[in-house]
Amino acid sequence: MEITVGHLGAVQFEIKARSHTLISDQPASNGGLDQGMTPPELLMAALGSCVAYYAAEYLNCRQIASKGTKVRVRAEKAKHPARMDNFRIELEAPAALSEQDREGVIAAMHRCLIHNTLLHPPQIEMVVKDRVLSGA
């Protein structure tokens, strides 16, 4: 997997993955134009949509209505180091679930790739490359 992020100016960035593009920005109160989600919101969106995918997959496999499933993700800002903490994920199923299916949905939510990545921090390497201009 790979994405590219390009600086558009001010605090706006264009994010590309495959044939998809979205904008990350900051609210006006933080110097932005509020034309896109902030990076923390994008992380929460990735977590929420991943969890929703696995929950919907579970419901569909059991022929339980999944259309209209909603996921709400909340997190707090923490310091030292600056990070997000105390995530809470709430799933609202569009139909009444038995206790067995409620447990099944929770188990499915725990299979989310983003959730598991956050629980088991990956190695992250940071590299800076200077752009070399040719013909100078």
Alpha-carbon 28 to chain mean position: 22
d(CA 91, CA 115): 14
- Domain for residue 104, yes or no? yes
Which residues constitute the domain of residue 59?
A: 38-119
Tokens representing 84? 């997000």
* pLDDT less than 70: residues of the chain: 134-136
List, for residues 58-81, the tens digit of each pLDDT value. 999 999 999 999 999 999 999 999
Average pLDDT, the chain: 95
| Residue 38 and residue 25 in contact, taking contact as beta carbons nearer than 8 Å | yes
Residues 78 and 25 in one domain: no
Quickly count: other Cβ atoms within 10 Å of residue 112's Cβ. Answer: 22
Residues 16 and 45 in one domain: no
Alpha-carbon 74 to chain mean position: 12
- Domain for residue 90, yes or no? yes
pLDDT of residue 131: 82
pLDDT of residue 134: 65
| Residue 11 and residue 25 in contact, taking contact as beta carbons nearer than 8 Å | yes
d(CA 75, CA 84): 6
pLDDT of residue 136: 55
Residues 72 and 23 in one domain: no
Residues 26 and 62 in one domain: no
Q: What global pTM score does this model have? A: 0.90
* Tally of domains within the chain: 2
Residues 28 and 62 in one domain: no
d(CA 114, CA 88): 14
Residues 71 and 83 in one domain: yes
Residues 32 and 42 in one domain: no
Residues 50 and 114 in one domain: yes
Residues 94 and 28 in one domain: no
- The H or E element that residue 124 is part of is none
Residues 11 and 27 in one domain: yes
pLDDT of residue 133: 73
Q: Which of 17, 37, 15 is nearest to 25 (CA)?
A: 37
Residues 23 and 59 in one domain: no
- Domain for residue 126, yes or no? no
